[in-house]
Amino acid sequence: EAQVTQNPRYLITVTGKKLTVTCSQNMNHEYMSWYRQDPGLGLRQIYYSMNVEVTDKGDVPEGYKVSRKEKRNFPLILESPSPNQTSLYFCASSSRDGVRSPLHFGNGTRLTVT
Amino acid sequence: AQSVTQPDIHITVSEGASLELRCNYSYGATPYLFWYVQSPGQGLQLLLKYFSGDTLVQGIKGFEAEFKRSQSSFNLRKPSVHWSDAAEYFCAVGAYNTDKLIFGTGTRLQVFP
C-alpha cells in the first residue's frame, strides 16, 4: 500500500531535549516536505526536499533541521525544542513537486514540549 | 505574493443539506488550486485540483469546485452532505513557477443528523 509513515504519532518532551521525527515513503517520490499545523494558522511549510541531498527552507524553518540522505526518508530534527514548537506535524511527499503533483500526507505527529 | 483566504472557520450543516465552502486566493496569474480534506486523526487527502481548462472540476466523494477568475474564488460544493463528510477542509494555491503550496487556515465542517 502506498503510504507516508511518520513516527511517533505522539511525543511529549521537555525543553532542550533533542528529538527526531521520522518520515518514510514507499512511492519512490522525489519531493518531500514537512508542515506544522496550528489552530487558526493552517499548515505552514517548515522544510522541503526536491531530491536526495537537496533541501530548502520553507516558511517557518527556525529551530528545525532536516536531512535527505536516502530518497525514501526525510527526518525532522529539533536540536533544542522549545514550547512554541508544540504543534501537529505532517510529512508529505509527491512524485514531482509540491504543486504540479498531489501531496500524499502522513497521519501526523502531535508534539508537546513542556 | 500568493495567499489563500478561507473566511469560514466553522460551518455546521444538517445531513442531506447542500454545502458550499468558500475559498479566495490572491495571485497575479492563473494559479494551481486545490482542496484537501483532513478527517479526524488523519493526514490530508486531495479532494480535487484545478490547473487549467474546464472551470468546474469534479473530485472524490461527490465534491466539486468552480474556479471563478473574476472573483478570485475556488469554492467547494456538495449537493447533499453525509455525516462522514465531517472534517476540516483546506484550500491551497500554488504557482506554476514555484514548488510551494500555500494553504488556507481551514474550515471545520460539522454535520448534524
Q: For A53, left (φ over 0), alpha (ψ -120 to 50), or beta?
A: left
CA distance A27 to A45: 21
pLDDT digits (tens, 9 = 90+) for A38-71: 998 999 999 999 999 999 999 999 999 999 999 9
Report, as an integer, the average pLDDT of A2-17.
96
- Average pLDDT across chain A, whole number: 95
Residue A18 phi, psi dihedral angles, 5° rounding: -55, 140
Q: Which residue on chain A is closest to B94 by alpha carbon? A: A99
Q: Which residue on chain B is closest to A58 by alpha carbon? A: B100
A–B interface: beta-carbon pairs under 8 A: 59
CA distance B81 to B21: 12
Using alpha carbons, select from A9, A3, A23 the residue that is nearest to residue A77.
Answer: A23
Q: Looking at chain A from residue 45 to 84, which residues have their Cβ under 8 Å from any Cβ of chain B? A: 45, 48, 50, 58
CA distance A12 to A113: 6
Q: What is the dihedral of CA B103, A46, A99, B94, to 10 degrees?
A: 40
pLDDT digits (tens, 9 = 90+) for A20-39: 999 999 999 999 999 999 99
CA distance A78 to A84: 12
**pLDDT band at residue A114, thresholds of 50, 70 and 90?**
very high
**Complete DSSP assignment for chain B:** --EEE---SEEEEETT--EEE--EEE-SSPPEEEEEEE-TTS-EEEEEEE-SS-SEEE-GGG-EEEEEGGGTEEEEEESS--GGG-EEEEEEEE-TT-S-EEE---EEEEEE-
User: Does A108 contact B42 at a Cβ distance shorter than 8 Å?
Assistant: yes
**pLDDT band at residue A1, thresholds of 50, 70 and 90?**
confident
